[in-house]
């Protein structure tokens, strides 16, 4: 059941985002994203999340905090609830929308239920670690190449500048400064 609620919530957030993109002032009452057909289902999804969280707290009792997904869901629902309660006090509604989008992170929990999807996510996570370290290595290599280029090409650029080889380009001679 909660999987269907999460998917419905994702759909409603996409509809709201699409409607909000047409508004010049997203906070105005005339903006179609602020209609009741958007905020009522959104509020119902939040109520369903709160009820589910309270039921899990009742079932798990003291062991509730030992399950990482429960703690994650608690913080996501708490952030969303705070966003709804204090949303009227913030002029910048982008913060509130980002907090509401964190509810979509609950979908990750659904993906781990199925063995095949769990294996795909675990593979992507390990791949992201490899890509992260590859990016760090590329940055280091590019930094070294930039230092070498400045050391080697700066005298060449200065010589070309003296011989007026750059023509009308004023900044070409200063490229390696």
Average pLDDT (77-86) is: 78
Average pLDDT (43-69) is: 89
**b/e per residue, 70-93, with b = 16+ CB within 10 A?**
beebeebbeebeebbeeeeeeeeb
The tens digit of pLDDT for each residue in 99-129 reads 667 766 767 666 667 788 888 888 888 899 8
pLDDT of 91 above 60:
no
pLDDT of residue 58: 92
The tens digit of pLDDT for each residue in 33-49 reads 778 888 899 889 889 98
User: Contact 23/13 with Cβ under 8 angstroms?
Assistant: no
């Amino acid at each position: 059941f909660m999987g269907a609620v999460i998917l419905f919530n994702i759909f409603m957030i996409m509809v709201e985002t699409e409607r909000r993109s047409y508004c010049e002032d997203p906070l105005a009452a005339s903006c179609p994203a602020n209609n009741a057909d958007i905020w009522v289902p959104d509020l119902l999804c939040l109520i369903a999340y709160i009820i589910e969280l309270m039921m899990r707290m009742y079932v798990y009792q003291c062991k509730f905090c030992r399950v990482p997904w429960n703690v994650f869901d608690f913080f996501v629902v708490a952030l969303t609830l705070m966003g709804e309660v204090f949303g009227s006090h913030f002029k910048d509604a982008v913060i509130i929308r980002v907090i509401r989008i964190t509810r979509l992170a609950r979908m990750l929990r659904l993906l781990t239920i199925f063995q095949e999807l769990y294996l795909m996510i675990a593979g992507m996570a390990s791949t992201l670690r490899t890509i992260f370290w590859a990016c760090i290595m590329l940055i280091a290599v590019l930094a070294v190449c930039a230092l070498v280029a400045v050391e080697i090409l700066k005298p060449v650029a200065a010589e070309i500048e003296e011989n007026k080889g750059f023509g009308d380009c004023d900044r070409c001679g200063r490229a390696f400064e």
